[in-house]
Structures are given as structure tokens and as C-alpha cells.
Structure 1
């Protein structure tokens, strides 16, 4: 007989099923999405200025990868711990506090004059990210009104759109104006801190309402699956995230170098083509959540990973026009994967929204950081073109989705 997983949150924890407001709090979701956009704009400036940093400080591809590894490692290790802590001790104003680290890291990057200082700046931005994502994801679910996929997709849309803006801002501001112009984006961090302070006030009211009516908010946090089944499903999701983020980092980190090397185009043009890919990722994000709410997140996971394989397989053999064109469906299809996996995992482990968010954001960042270092080392050893031939097979990991249990529930209306 299978033994179900039982979670026993403290009284401070908002219930998993009842933590949604009766209706979707759209204003809060939009504010969260805007904050996520500003957060990821600033984070995306790091890889977007890699060509500038590489030339200025004569960095190798491996050193470029280590910058990303430092940022992602700082973010990934702490996120599950932050999520686990805030499941039991919600912190309404932690989001604004975390954004302060991003602000400090951004300004340090603007004045950095050595590789070590660049690594320190990247680490501080990563620390801010580790505080931001778990609690922001929890608030998005709280404000969803039961439309969990839609809420996570809208939250992710802001982040992906912000990431897509980084290359454009680097191309038209940082590259021509120089490294110090990165500090100009401090206004984005300050704006995000103001938005997040307001969100914290709303969140604090919801926490007070829950504490005042604990019986009304009583809930069931028992999974319908055995512990072994849940763990095996989470392992499969981690493998799928590994394939997604290793491939994603091959484009977000090294696509500009690939285009410059293979097609002999200038940095600014390569940054614009990177924006095309990242813009496709942003545009595709909003689809996975609502589709998952109606058709099931397991279905979306299947399609979002395995569905890009024909395009990734063709990419290394394409000319410039087709290379840029192929990155559009890759970005659109792949974008839905993270939202679907996040909500699916939260259904697997009810009552642990923050922990799951921290685990998934942390693992995703960790895989992106590891991928950046590994692929950078490979590029130094075998050439940047060979890296894309190897990475083209990563979407085949999507076949593992066949082993995921069916946890579909009736969609919220």
C-alpha cells in the first residue's frame, strides 16, 4: 500500500489550496510581473555585456562562463533555503530587501576593474535573485484566484521580457557609452523596490487575515501520490530542467559569439539577433500557463521540451537568415516549459509553494551556471560551432516526460 506524503505547515503558512483570493488579484500580478521584468533586465545586463568585458579585460570563454557560474551558483544554492524558510515564516518585505542586493551588485559591476570584482558583483546580483524569486512566486500563486498557470505565466512573462531587453540595452547604451553606464539602470532597481514595498503591504494584509481566521483557512496538504512516486517525478522534472537550461544558456550566453564567429557580423547586430530569440522566449511564456490550466501541465511539459528538437537539430547547419528564423520557434515553444513544470511540481507537493519555487528557480539557475561554465570550457577546447552541434540533441530529454504521473485537476474558471 502506498504511503502518501503529509505536510504539516506552521500556523503562519498560507494554505496551498485556499491561499488564492476568491478572484484573481490582477493588479498585484501585474506589479509582480513588472518587478520581475525590472529584476531580470538588470540580471540580463551581465551576459549582455560579455563581449565588452571579454575585450576590455582579455577574458577567455571559460572566464566568461565563470561569471555566469558565480551569479547562478549564488542564486541557486540559497533559493530553496529561502523558500523553505518563508513557507514557515512569510516575509512580506523580503522582496524589496533582496532587490537592494541587486542594486549594489549592479553598481559594483559598473565600476569593476578586475575579473575578481566582476565575480563579486555577479554574486551580489545572484544573492538578490535568490531572495526575490521564491517569495514572489508564492505571492503570484496567492493572487491567482485559482488560475495557477495563468498567474505563474504572467509572472514569468515579466522576467523573460526583461531578459530579452538586456541585449538591446547593452547594444544601444552600454556598448557605445561604456561599462560605467551600467549604473544608469539603478533607477530600475529603485522602481522595483517601490513596487515590491506596495506588494509587501498587500501580502501582509493577507497574512493577517489568515492568522485571524485559522479555522476558516484550514486545508488539506496531503499528496495523493506515494513518497517514492513524488520523488521520482521531481527527479524527472530536474532532468528536464537540466536539458532546458543547458540549451537555453548555449543561446543566452554564447549566441552572440557564435553569430560573430560564424557569420562575421558586428557585436551590435549580434545583440539584436539575440533579442529576437529572447523576445520569442518572452512571447511564448504566457501561453504555457493558461494552456496548462485547461489541458494539463503534463501535456505542456511534453511539448515544450521535445517539441523544439527538429529546430535545434537544424540550427547548426543553417545560414544567417535561417539561424535567426529557427531561434523564434525554439524560444516560443521552450518558453512554456518552466511555468508548466513549476505548477505541476506545486501540485505534487501541496503546502510547500515557496520551497518548490526556490528549488526550481535555484536548480534552473544552477544548471544555467554550470552549463555556462561547461559550454565555455568546451568552446575553448573544440570551438563554438561544435558546441551547438552537441547541444542540438538536448531536447531528447523530453522523452522522460512519459514517466510523469497524471495529476491533472479541473481547471479554475
Structure 2
């Protein structure tokens, strides 16, 4: 019988498991810090080493594409034989790669260092998501905190990197590895708590319903995540520029709107976890993606003084389903938790980064407003793709669309 996760878990967690849960959250923030560090570092590397646009894009590709493709492979590997040590090892590699990126003048060595960091990120996510689900004991709120932590880490990178590089130059990048190395040690000590038997309640794999893997809904869910990723990357990439054009304002105004977009996204993710304790995750996803349509319309076409509201509205709607994607994917593939985590956290999400240049090309040929209007098609696609999905842990037990 499937374990129901639509209700908050009543299983008491010992202090070690509770501590491990928060260590995983902090570790996720630190790990995703190194994903955000790559775009933050590129302007400094380009200035110091005279990279052209193609060379700079190659550095980004080393981190994002390689990491995203490797995550499902690590997931499949750990489905055969769980390797919890990949969590601290992945953290350490993610930090060491970025730390080495500023040393020496060779483009190849820099590229390999950033690729090493990407591999560390890829190694970290599948096992960390599995461990976070175990530590959450079926709590969607706990999983939403895990997802939010990654967002916070990514957002913190543009603050930390200039602090280090502007004071010591690109040769100071080894200092950026310190948070990863510290958290790798802390995580290594905390992980054994997740492997100890509990006095009561479900085993460490709690949260995923028993039964056969359901590949068809999982692939449909992956398509939903891709649509969401295109919207999120499209807005975050061009929001500052769009704000400057729309408001005839300077870059600081654009950065303030972008910060609002990220902050509202954090609130949306936490709200999604709360909602999932009471309602079908599929229904929440469908309503959230429907809500992105008016949010985008306000952002793109409403009078200028409504732009900030449109950005916040869209961010909340986009991020309410964020942590639910991971848990739902794990529930569709209960026998391949690592694969599900690798795809939902890596491969499917990376599509947005690949689509952003296409949006930019369209903006060059038309206008930025017209290019961003195409994101409405992605919202519609996300809504339509949820039709026919079911929530395996819906309260009424039905395997029907919308729960």
C-alpha cells in the first residue's frame, strides 16, 4: 500500500535526523552557490584574460550543460547502489573546481576546473535529494525548505564572488572553495543519522509510494518542468534589461526588480510546500501555471507602475510547484529515486538555460517585449501537460488527473 504523504508526518524525528535535515538544507545552499558563481565569475575572467563572447559562453557551457547531463547518470548509478558519500564529495568537488578556476592563464585549465565544479554539482544533487526526502519523513514543507536553500545559495553567489575577486583579483578564487570544504566535513558527520534505524515509523526511504515505476507520467512531468524552466530562465536573464527599457531607468532599478523576483520566488516555494500538505500536487501545479499567465501579462503589458507587481506575481506562481516537481518525480519512479532526482533537478531544468539565447536572438530581430511574450506559450503548455497527470499520494487515493 502506498505511503500517503499528503498529510504532515506524525513520526517523531530524533535530534540527529533533524540536524541532518538542516545540514542538508545548508549544504544545498552551498552547493548551488557554485552554480551561481560561474556567471558571476565570467565578467572578471573575461576582463583579466581578454575572453571574447564565444570563450565566455564556453565556460558557461562547461558548467551548465555538462552538469545537467551528468546528473541523471549519477542518479542511475546511485539507484543501483546508493552512495551517500557522493553528497560531501560532490560538495567538495563543486568548491574545488571554482577555487581552481582563477589560477593560471590557460583557458583549457580554467574550462576543466569549471567542468570539475559542474561534475561535483551533478554528483551532489541525486543523493542529496534522496537524503532530504528521507529526512523529511514525507513532509512537503521540509522538502520546500531544501529547494529554497538551493535558490538562496544561487542568489548569494553574485554577492560573494565580487567580495572575493574585487579584493584579491581572479587569483583569489581559492577562497571561494572554503564554504564547500567546510560543509563537506559537516555533512560527512551528519549523514550517519539518516542510516540509523528509527524507533518507529517508516524507513529512511519514506515519502515514496511503493509500486511499479510510472514512466509515462514521469516524462510528462519532465516536460512540465522544461516549460517552467524556459519561463524562469527567460525572465531572470532579461528582467533587468526589460525593466530599464520599460521604466527608462538605470541598472540599479532593474537589479531591485530582479531581487524582488527572486525573493518572491522563495516565498512561492515555501507556500507550495504548505499547500501540498493539504491538496493534490497536480492540482496545485495546474493552478500555479494558470496563474503565471495573468502574471506575465501584467509584467509585460500593464502600465509601468504595475511592473514590480507583475514580476512578484509571476515569481510566486512559477515557484509554488518547484519543490513539488522533485517529490512527485520521486513518487512516479519509487524504484529509481536517484534517476528521478537527477532529471527533475538537472536535465529538465537545464533546458531553460539553453533556450535563453534563442529568446535573445528573437529579441534582436523584434523587440524584447515581443520575445518575452512567447513565454505565455510555455505557460499554456505547462497547464495542458498537467492534464492527465495524477498524484499517487492524493488524499482520496484516486489516480486521476488533478488528484
Say yes or no: TM over 0.5. Answer: yes
Answering whether residue 141 of structure 2 is matched by residue 157 of structure 1, we say: no
CA distance in 1, matches of 2:251, 2:33: 19
Aligned counterpart, 2:392: 407
Q: What are the within-5 Å matches in structure 2 for residues 115-154 of structure 1?
A: 119-147=111-139, 149-154=140-145
The Cα shift of 1:48 comes to: 3.5
Of the three residues 30, 39, 45, the one matched with 1:38 is: 30
CA distance in 1, matches of 2:85, 2:196: 12
CA distance in 2, matches of 1:339, 1:44: 19
Q: What are the within-5 Å matches in structure 2 for residues 200-239 of structure 1?
A: 200-205=191-196, 221-223=210-212, 230-239=214-223
CA 1:181 to 1:305, structure 2 compared with 1: closer, same or farther past 3 Å?
farther
- Please give the secondary structure, in 1, of the residue aligned with 2:334: coil
CA distance in 1, matches of 2:94, 2:162: 21
Q: Does the CA-based 8 Å contact 1:69-1:372 persist in structure 2?
A: no
CA 1:231 to 1:87, structure 2 compared with 1: closer, same or farther past 3 Å?
closer
The Cα shift of 1:381 comes to: 5.1
Q: Does the CA-based 8 Å contact 1:140-1:152 persist in structure 2?
A: yes
Q: Does the CA-based 8 Å contact 1:171-1:272 persist in structure 2?
A: no
Q: Does the CA-based 8 Å contact 1:171-1:271 persist in structure 2?
A: no
CA 1:259 to 1:280, structure 2 compared with 1: closer, same or farther past 3 Å?
same
The Cα shift of 1:32 comes to: 0.6
Q: Does the CA-based 8 Å contact 1:102-1:124 persist in structure 2?
A: yes
Aligned counterpart, 1:6: none
Aligned counterpart, 2:400: none
The Cα shift of 1:86 comes to: 1.5
Q: What are the within-5 Å matches in structure 2 for residues 333-372 of structure 1?
A: 333-372=317-356
Q: Does the CA-based 8 Å contact 1:66-1:372 persist in structure 2?
A: no
CA 1:267 to 1:337, structure 2 compared with 1: closer, same or farther past 3 Å?
same
Output the TM-score relative to the length of structure 1.
0.79
- In structure 1, list runs of 5 or more residues that go unmatched: 1-14
Aligned counterpart, 1:309: 293
CA distance in 2, matches of 1:129, 1:16: 30
Aligned counterpart, 2:99: 107
Aligned counterpart, 1:325: 309
Answering whether residue 83 of structure 2 is matched by residue 98 of structure 1, we say: no
**CA deviation profile, 1:326-346 (whole Å, cap 9, x unmatched):** 221222221122311221222
The Cα shift of 1:319 comes to: 6.8
Aligned counterpart, 1:10: none
CA 1:274 to 1:187, structure 2 compared with 1: closer, same or farther past 3 Å?
farther
Aligned counterpart, 1:186: 177
- Please give the secondary structure, in 1, of the residue aligned with 2:119: helix
CA distance in 2, matches of 1:21, 1:131: 32
Output the TM-score relative to the length of structure 2.
0.81
- Please give the secondary structure, in 2, of the residue aligned with 1:143: helix
Of the three residues 69, 77, 87, the one matched with 1:85 is: 77
**CA deviation profile, 1:266-288 (whole Å, cap 9, x unmatched):** 55654444322222222221221
Q: Does the CA-based 8 Å contact 1:75-1:129 persist in structure 2?
A: yes
**CA deviation profile, 1:224-268 (whole Å, cap 9, x unmatched):** xxx7xx333122212211111111112333434444566565556
- In structure 2, list runs of 5 or more residues that go unmatched: 397-403
Q: Does the CA-based 8 Å contact 2:164-2:176 persist in structure 1?
A: no
CA distance in 2, matches of 1:354, 1:191: 25
Cα RMSD after superposing both structures = 3.6
- Equivalent residue pairs, number: 383
Q: Does the CA-based 8 Å contact 1:163-1:278 persist in structure 2?
A: no
CA 1:249 to 1:100, structure 2 compared with 1: closer, same or farther past 3 Å?
same
The Cα shift of 1:157 comes to: 1.4
CA 1:378 to 1:409, structure 2 compared with 1: closer, same or farther past 3 Å?
same
* 45-54 or 230-239: bigger deviation: 45-54
The Cα shift of 1:16 comes to: 8.5
CA distance in 2, matches of 1:386, 1:64: 27
